[in-house]
Structure 1
Amino acid sequence: MGARRRRRFGTVAALAVAVVLLAGCGGVSGSSGDGSDCDTSRGTLVVGLVAPLSGELASVGLGMKNSADLAVSQANARCAVPGYHLAVQSQDDRADPATGAAAARTLAQDPSLLGVLGPFNSSVAQAIQPVLSDAGIVQISPGSTATSLTRGANAVTAPLRQYQTFFRTVATDAVQGPAAATYLTRVEDRRRIAVVSDGKTYGEGIAEEFAKQLATEGGQVAVRVTAPPGSARDGVVARVAAARPDAVFYGGEYPEGGPLSAALAARGVTVPVMGGDGIVNPGFVTSGGREGDLGTSVGPPPETLPAAQGFVDAYRRAGYPESIGSYGAFTFDAANVLVDSAVRTLGDDREWSPAVRPEMVRAVQGFHGDGVTGPLSFDRFGDVSRDAVTVYRVQAGGWSVVGPVD
């Protein structure tokens, strides 16, 4: 099979769902539609997932877990990998790098492991990368956006891909941070921006990318503050208030971003807070985010993409108690890339063993197809070749789409 062959996951997923639904109504003869008639004589292959399944970011992680489960269930229903049944094995990283590394080590000990999906947090990804790289296990993150994960500390002057096993289906902060700065300066006409970040890999990375583009746009960083999660907000709020900015950019996640917005308002700083995908979550609003606050997220909203409708409908019909979340569609695509790569690696009659993992890495690198989030392929750094960014605004107590950033 040529590396340039395009696979349309949205169509495949929709057909698989249709077969299952028809089977349940007696509309398909001779097949249950659930994969029970597949040849699974060679055993089970594991799709690993590492994500925050508990704690403040659990709403993100559980959406990722469910989306991976849906992709694998559909793959089993269509007998995707001849001779094998696929199973998801999920590990909770609790958004903690050490816990994530331990989870990766646990998964890596399983010889039936095809690859690992996740994590969400860039700081956790940093801890997991060397573990999986040493074992030669492919990793596809649907949520870790820090540019340094694929291009090293000097992404512009001396980019260096340290881990050939790491890929992602989500665009990087080198796309998202500049998009936020462009929107604030050109659309909102806000040029003196206070920049606050949480000291973690994702927060610092997106804040730095934002600040660089802000200068390019003729804007100015009014004050730069680092506020690690759990630290006192009073000093941060006082410094921001004294700077009298036109807006505040927050590099971090919604559990800290929402309360920061509320604390600023209480001090009389009523300008909007803007952040990246880390704050575009209902939890930002419920924890203090205000009307008019802004956020960016990578890619268009899944519900606006025709190719994603089959995925959204299938997720709802599956009855998962949690919402898809901001990263469910990216996880669904990542899982399908992994499954497709296993099919291309094993063919119809090849036995799986850890010895073929390097071929899995090459298969992912050479992947070209259409996912529910849009066209999918990976550049030489393992980054997805797509750079769409959407702006959201808090309106009527929830996040509403403003539109794409050019």
Structure 2
Amino acid sequence: MTKHLGFMLVSALLPVLASAQEMQTVKIGFSSPLTGPQASAGKDNQGGVQLAIERLNAQGLVVGGKKVKFELLSEDDQADPRTGVSVAQKLVDQGIKAIVGPYNSGVTIPASRVYNEAGIVIATVASNPKITQQGFQYLYRVAASDSQLGGRMALYAAKELKLKKVAVIDDRTAYGQGLADEFVKVAKANGIDIVSRDFTNDKASDFSAILTSIKGRKPDGVFLGGYAPQGGPIKRQMVQLGIDVPLMGGDGICSPEMGRLGGDSIGERVYCTQGGALLDKLADGRRFAADYQTKFKRPAETYAASFYDGMMLIAKAMKAANSVEPKTYGPALAAIKYKGVSGNYEFDNKHDLKQSPVTIFRFKDSLPVPLTSY
């Protein structure tokens, strides 16, 4: 009788034990440029997501009664809108439950439609205001928008640098154009005369014709709506042409890539804005930077921490909703309040951050050094 009862108890417990050990693999997509001129930024982003997933898997997160193992599916979108849409369809077909990315606004605008229509949660740092104006249910911006990045740079230029005449260069990407538009709008409202607006592209490397024209207009500052692969050569060529004025930009130039491409010309007269608080002022930020350096043998650059936080936000929403399905955990993400490495996360009704501090950086010894939050 005792043996029979023992057998019955063990038999009853077996399904419970099996259930406790049951594992579910949850696929997470990642989209950024991993080759080409912006590969440095893409690999920086990828490191942030990888670090988050490794930590989450080590924690043994349980959702819906099953232990979760996150699997990262990384894709190179080459900072190209058409490639980004192809990548989006590929990741959707592979059954991802979320996408951390894309990085570029020009990629995010068309690709987000693919993800949203498939019911996939999107956590992007792409900054063009049009992204969240699409009204997509599953799309969230986890960093500052162009209105914050470009506008704060314009305010700093007017109030702190005391600039009166600025030339603007725009690379015609969705990011560069949106950033330049916001800079121009706020600059004009604060008494800065925009003496010219020239256009290039995100593949260009020779800016001598544009800069020669700008030199003739005698600005006391130049603003670039674009990325480091253009920013470095632009500043180097400004020095060669004797255009001794500050170069300003947004988060696209706020990286060590500027120094690698611009050499000694990238000094204290180069300014940029980046969303988020200063990592070295926050305990979690300092730990993240140290852990990133240890794992990848390189410093975290512009958006590694934001991509890390984006993945952590997704996991927190899954836990809160007790589901890995976007249609269930998406509403939990909309209502979330989370203290991450880059700051506090809480979304408004457009799925933009309610508050996103912007930090002004100035380059020193070819590296961006934070000046102040603005």
- TM-score, normalised relative to structure 2: 0.89
Cα distance change, pair 230–58 in 1 and its aligned pair in 2 (3 A): closer
The CA deviation at 1:397 is 2.7
User: Residue in 1 aligned with 2:80?
Assistant: 96
**Cα distance in structure 2, aligned partners of 1:324 and 1:54:** 18
**Greater length-normalized contact order (CA 8 Å, ≥ 6 residues apart):** 1
Matches within 5 A, 1:2-401: 41-82=22-63, 83=66, 84-111=68-95, 113-141=96-124, 143-151=125-133, 161-231=134-204, 232-288=206-262, 289-291=265-267, 292-317=269-294, 319-346=295-322, 356-401=325-370
SS in 2 for 1:164: coil
% identical aligned pairs: 26
Cα distance change, pair 345–76 in 1 and its aligned pair in 2 (3 A): same
Which one-letter code corresponds to 1:115 in the other structure? A
Whichever structure has more helix as a proportion of its residues is 2
8 Å CA contact 2:266–2:365 kept in 1: the answer is no
Give CA-to-partner distance per residue, 1:133-180, whole Å, 9 cap, x none. Answer: 110111001x211111112xxxxxxxxx43221111101010111111
SS in 2 for 1:209: helix
**Cα distance in structure 1, aligned partners of 2:216 and 2:61:** 60
The CA deviation at 1:88 is 1.1
Which one-letter code corresponds to 1:403 in the other structure? T
SS in 2 for 1:274: strand
Structure 2 gaps of 5+ residues are 1-18
SS in 1 for 2:252: coil
Which one-letter code corresponds to 2:282 in the other structure? L
8 Å CA contact 2:289–2:299 kept in 1: the answer is no
Which one-letter code corresponds to 2:232 in the other structure? G
Paired residue total: 349
8 Å CA contact 1:393–1:400 kept in 2: the answer is yes
The CA deviation at 1:194 is 0.4
Structure 1 gaps of 5+ residues are 1-37, 152-160
8 Å CA contact 1:184–1:190 kept in 2: the answer is yes
**RMSD (Å), alpha carbons:** 1.7
SS in 2 for 1:391: strand
Which one-letter code corresponds to 2:142 in the other structure? T
8 Å CA contact 1:223–1:239 kept in 2: the answer is no
Stretch deviating more after TM superposition (254-263 or 292-301): 292-301
Which one-letter code corresponds to 1:381 in the other structure? K
**Cα distance in structure 2, aligned partners of 1:74 and 1:234:** 47
8 Å CA contact 1:169–1:334 kept in 2: the answer is yes
Which one-letter code corresponds to 2:373 in the other structure? P
SS in 1 for 2:159: helix
8 Å CA contact 2:246–2:270 kept in 1: the answer is yes
8 Å CA contact 1:59–1:322 kept in 2: the answer is no
8 Å CA contact 1:176–1:297 kept in 2: the answer is yes
8 Å CA contact 2:169–2:223 kept in 1: the answer is yes
* Structure ID, larger Rg: 2
Give CA-to-partner distance per residue, 1:247-267, whole Å, 9 cap, x none. Answer: 000000000111111112212
**Cα distance in structure 2, aligned partners of 1:381 and 1:316:** 35
